[in-house]
Amino acid sequence: MKIMHTADVHLSSHHPRRLEALKKVIQLGKDEHIDLLLVAGDLFDDDHQAQLLRGEVRGLFSDLPFQVVAIPGNHDQQAFTEESFFGTEFKALTTKPLAIEDFPDWRLVAVPYGEGSFVSLSEDLRQAVALDKKNILMLHCSWSLPFHNDEDYGGEDLRYLPVTEATLTGLGYDYILAGHFHSSYRQRILPCKAVFVYPGSPVSITSREQGRRGVNIIDEKGCKQVLLDSWYYQDMEYILRVTNTDATLDQLERELASHPDEYCTLTVRIKGYSQENETSLQARIQQILGHRVNTHLELLFRSAGEISADPLYQRIRQHVQGPNSEEMDDMLLDAFSQIHAEDR
Ligand SMILES: [Mn+2]
């Protein structure tokens, strides 16, 4: 069995790119010949949006070569009522505190959104494991990752179903497939060998979600991220020093190639100092960007003439003499350009 896992699509009629991203997820599911698509919460931005978009989503989730199973997240906790129909292949698991869905060789245990602590659930979760199958736990939870804050969880507080490595360890699951963390794909192997995955939103919800988006694919061999060609944000920043203008522009050209204009909102910020005239440097950068329409340029660089006018620079330069003076002068300009760039 091949399974695809996504979460936090946050479908909204105000953001058509999110619906486009869901279409890409479904297309990728077809291309990858999956048997099951799991949505680990927040398919919709809110319950009202679920009402508005149900018709469209119904078309997407009907007559597919795979099943779709979702749980409500904290954003769409009331979206999936018994009478609402989201497609012939779609099923929402809403039974609290947990729902069990069996497949040949695999068991899915799902925890729909609910108040309460994870610890009080853990005995039920342990008992729900099928000993003769691979077991998946699907939930929407807050695992507070180092170097991330609530912005990475869609700007929400981290009190929603907090989990830790200790509470997730030893429950008996092979995979713990989660939602709630938007920023990026995160995979973590627990001491009990269970694999915990946050797939990240399959489309940038805000500019906070940087970089190509993807989904998580699970099969008998393990799980991995597969990239999507859905909309995302990317910021790139370059700092020119007086001696590296050409190398930096080469790097910009190389890195641009990995961010397709068709689905990337790119911000290119160029700071620092160049010996080149500002107007001609600007023209070179424009030429590198070519016909990109979704790229925003922030040209913050300045010409190095400003450094030459610095009295401290002039005084030191008078002392730079000898066979390597040209090299020394470049180093001096570099050092001053860094200091000036940091000042600004
Ligand atoms: Mn979310």
My answer on whether 284 and 264 are in the same domain is: yes
Spatial separation of the C-alpha atoms in residues 135 and 196, rounded to whole Å? 12
Number of domains in the chain: 2
> Which tokens hold the place of 55?
């018709």
258 with 184, same domain? no
Q: Do 128 and 190 belong to one domain?
A: yes
pTM over 0.95? The answer is no
Gap between the Cα atoms of 83 and 255, Å rounded = 49
How far apart, in whole angstroms, are the C-alpha atoms of residue 14 and residue 34?
30
Distance CA 247, CA 153 (A): 37
Residue 104 sits in the same domain as residue 250 = no
Verify that 223 and 242 share a domain, yes or no.
no
Separation of 272 CA from ligand 1 center, angstroms? 38
| Gap from CA of 5 to ligand 1 centroid (Å) | 14
Distance 182 CA to ligand 1 centre (A): 6
Domain ends where: 211, 227, 243? 227
Q: What is the pLDDT of residue 137?
A: 98
pLDDT tens string for the chain (344 positions)?
999 999 999 999 999 999 999 999 999 999 999 999 999 999 999 999 999 999 999 999 999 999 999 999 999 999 999 899 999 999 999 999 999 999 999 999 999 988 778 888 999 999 999 999 999 999 999 887 766 777 777 766 556 788 889 999 999 999 999 999 999 999 999 999 999 999 999 999 999 899 999 999 999 899 999 999 999 999 999 999 877 899 999 999 999 999 999 999 999 999 988 888 899 999 999 999 999 999 999 999 888 887 888 899 889 888 887 777 778 887 888 788 777 767 65
* Cα 306 to ligand 1 centre (Å): 47
Q: Supply the DSSP string of 290-334, one letter for each residue.
A: TT-SSEEEEE--EETHHHHT-HHHHHHHHT--STTHHHHHHHHHH
Same domain, 52 and 28: yes
Give the Å distance between the CA of 165 and the centre of ligand 1: 21
Domain boundary among 188, 209, 227: 227
Whether residues 58 and 203 fall in one domain: yes
Q: What is the CATH number of the domain that holds 139?
A: 3.60.21.10
Paired residues of 126 in beta bridges? none
Same domain, 130 and 14: yes
Instruction: Please give the distance, rounded to the nearest whole angstrom, from the Cα atom of residue 44 to the centre of ligand 1.
Output: 9
- CA–centroid distance, 21 to ligand 1, in Å, is 15
Residues 69 and 173 in one domain: yes
Going from the Cα of 244 to the center of ligand 1, the distance in angstroms, rounded, reads 42
CA of 42 to the centre of ligand 1 (A): 5
- Token reading at 130: 């099928």
Distance 154 CA to ligand 1 centre (A): 5
30 CA distance to ligand 1 middle (Å): 25
**End residue of a domain, out of 227, 256, 285:** 227
User: What is the crossing angle of helices 47-60 and 16-31, to 10°?
Assistant: 40
Distance from residue 9's CA to the centre of ligand 1 (Å): 7
Q: How many angstroms is it from 40 CA to the middle of ligand 1?
A: 10
Residues 134 and 162 in one domain: yes
Q: Are residues 215 and 326 in the same domain?
A: no
| Residue 84 sits in the same domain as residue 202 | yes
Domain holding 222, by residue range, is 3-227
